[in-house]
Each structure stands twice: as C-alpha cells, then as structure tokens.
Amino acid sequence: MKKNGVYHKVYNFFIGSSQIKDKNVKITGQDAKHISSVLRMKEKEKIYISNKETHIKYLAEISSISKDEIDCILLNEVESTESNIKITLFQGLPKSDKMEYIIQKAVELGVYEIVPINMKNCIVKLKDEEKKIKRWQAISEAAAKQSKRNIIPQICRLKNIEDVAKSIKDFDFMIVAYENEDKITLKQILQENRTKFSNKEKKECKIAIVIGPEGGIDEKEAKFLADKSATMVSLGKRILRTETASLAMLSMIMYEYDF
C-alpha cells in the first residue's frame, strides 16, 4: 500500500465472524501480541482482515492498540486472492521436514486443501496424529497470512489409497504423478481439459493431484487408482523428489487454469 509516496507492507490476519460487530473488529490472542509487540504497529495503520467463515477479506484501520487486544474499523472489502480452481493435494506421507516444506509452499501457490496419504512405500509412520495435524495446520495458517490468502487451507487427517479412490467422484478429474507413465504427460492432460476451466459460467472447478512419498507410488496402487478413473501422468524425463513434484504440479496447473 502506498502512503506519502512510499509503499508499506500490509499484513494479513484471520478472524472469526464472532469478532466482527457492525464495522468494528477485535483481534486478541497471539495475533494481538504479534501486532503490538513484534510488528509494533500504531493506531491509524492499515491491515488486511480475512474472515475464516465467509472467506471475505477487508482492509481495516487500527483504532486502538494494546498488548492483548487490537481494535479495528473495517474500511472496505478487497479483491479475493483465491482462484476458482480448487486443488486438493493428496500427498504420500514423506519425512516430517519435507511435509512441512510442502505445506508451506503449496499454500503459497494456492492449494485448497492437503490430505496426507499412507501409502505402501511411505518410509515414516505418523505418530501422535492429533499433535502433528495441529502443527501442520499452524504452518498452513502462517503461510496463508504471509501470502495474503482469503482462506486457511485445511490439513486433513491421514487417509489411505482406498479413501483417495472413493473421493475421485468429487472432482472434475484426478491426476496422479507416476514415474512409470511414459505416454501421457501432464501438459497433455491440462491442454485437453483447458476448455472446462476457461468457461466463465463455471464458477468453480475441482482438481485432485496425487503425489507418492519418497519411495514413489507402488505399481498396484497406480493400477488401483487408474481403474477408478484417475489419470496417470508423466512430469517429464527427469524423476522429481516428492516435495518437488507436488510444487511443480501445483505451479503448472495454476499457470494454465488460474484466470
């Protein structure tokens, strides 16, 4: 945002509908402490406020500030940063540090939700799932704030390959990155389906992408998903790491379809 000829960064925060009364907003908890103690913001400074329930984003002005509570006045609604392409990433469970990296970058790139998948070639097993999901959700929220998302992408509970197959009907199509596929490319599939996503009357399109863990997708798992109408695709001549494949697919889909 430009002020007195200088561009100032406008930070983004998420709130619930209960925190809004008329045009007044109260921010409490860790966000309030961050605004007052870390960012050291002052009255009259501007921030973005995104409603977690309605997904509407507003430009707001800080009216009063203390260590534990920030009062703001909503000025106007701002344009959404969300795409009409809703991508669900089914991610074969990788090592913990890689999953955190995937979540952070996938949220920045516009993913709608992330579903960790327990697959045959997963090297690690998820211990204390509740604690891990909570941490992953916090990473998603931090990335959503940084990239000024209107939503905080949901990190779902651990699923298996059968759960993935059952969900295929919920998407316009599902793409599986499979290293043994040597005929059908991601580029080909995206181009073939492009007319669906350039249709302005179609308000929302849902795509699922499936990425294997470090050990890749097992042949039987690939066949199982293909038999359920998922499409196997090649990402090119080179084999990508699981964390690279996820982000490469997201980038290519958004490039083609995010109008």
Q: Nearest Cα to 91, choosing from 37, 6, 153, 4? A: 153
Q: Hey, where are the domains in the chain?
A: 2-77, 85-257
* pTM: predicted TM-score of the whole model, two decimal places: 0.89
The distance in angstroms from the start CA to the end CA of the chain is 24
pLDDT of 124 reads 87
CATH of 2-77 given 1.20.1070.10, 3.50.50.60, 3.20.20.70, 2.40.240.20: 2.40.240.20
Identical topology for domains 2-77 and 85-257: no
Q: Is 163 helix (H, G, I), strand (E, B) or coil?
A: helix
How far is the CA of 25 from the CAs of 31, 59, 70, in angstroms? 13, 11, 8
Query: Please, which residues have CB within 8 angstroms of residue 14's CB and are 6 or more apart in sequence?
Result: 31, 49, 50, 51, 52, 141, 144, 145, 152
Q: Which CATH superfamily is domain 85-257 in?
A: SPOUT methyltransferase, trefoil knot domain (3.40.1280.10)
pLDDT of 182 reads 87
pLDDT of 4 reads 46
Which DSSP letter does residue 17 get? G
pLDDT of 95 reads 85
Low-confidence ranges of the chain (pLDDT < 70): 1-8, 196-203, 259
